Amino acid sequence: MEKELKGKVAIVTGAGRLRGIGRAAAVALAKLGADVVVTGTGRSPKNYPDDEKAVGWRDIESVADLVRAEGSRALPLVSDVTNEKDVNNMISKTIKELGRIDILINNAAYARAEDRVPILDLDESVFQKVVDIKITGTFLCTKGAVGQMINQGTGGKIVNISSSAGKKGSANFLAYNAANFGIIGMTQSLARELGAHNINVNAVCPGAVDTSRMDVVRDQWETMAANTPIGRNGTDEEVGDFCAYLCTEAASWIHGQSINQNGGTIMEH
């Protein structure tokens, strides 16, 4: 049976980690037949977590290999999503090498660290970095991809990765809340604007997902799971697979939504 996304080209930002939603989404899309552009910041190997070092991980190159293993083409690109020149280069290289753009997964985000502090301890540069990567990055990547989607005239799919922190504010989460609430507003605006072009736009709002971003809170991991109605935290594959589903025809009437995927910790829309 032919894979549903055969002939489609997807861009997944922030996809270089072994344990990450970007990697999982890229592989899930490839399993459905899509060719995938895998982007990352070009992290230094000395900063890789121990599990990546142990397996000889090569950031976006390793994810590209996983995509190719599914029978799809892969294009690994180092790209700073906050830099318009970088993003435009990413878009032009995608079109040159793979011919089109049908799917965009806006997943890039600032690594969880010194942003989770009281406002009086929050450095302006850190606040700006969190917002720039999530908000400006989503704006620039979407602007670039949408122009090509509209020119193609065959519609498209955009999935923005927000968070449970885009639905509910928490103390000491100011920058992260601001960025993720912003993604939900952008999703709604884009959905109203782009629906006429048959471009679906949705956001996914994960809760606690087992990725390398969460290594800094491993001491709280079991408690976080126990506070989840379903009794466990999520996996990157679960979120990646759901992102891929939103890019299929079966999900074509889901539009402008910011969908909770968190084991029930937040049920409000």
Q: 36: which strand partners?
A: 10, 74
Active site residue 176: yes
The residue type of 7 is G
Residues with Cβ within 8 Å of 78's Cβ and at least 6 positions away in sequence, in order, are: 39, 40, 41, 42, 60
Cross-strand pairs, 9: 35
As a whole number of angstroms, the distance between CA 151 and CA 131 comes to 30
Catalytic residue among 48, 110, 176, 245: 176
Please report which residue ranges of 153-267 form alpha helices under DSSP H. 174-194, 221-226, 236-245
Strands 103-106 and 156-161: parallel
Of 250, 237, 182, nearest to 22 by C-alpha is 237
Please give the single-letter amino acid code of residue 207.
Answer: G
The Cα–Cα gap between 143 and 105 comes to 13
* Distance in angstroms (rounded) separating the CA atoms of residues 104 and 246: 11
Tokens representing 96?
Answer: 């040159």
- Which residues carry out catalysis? 176
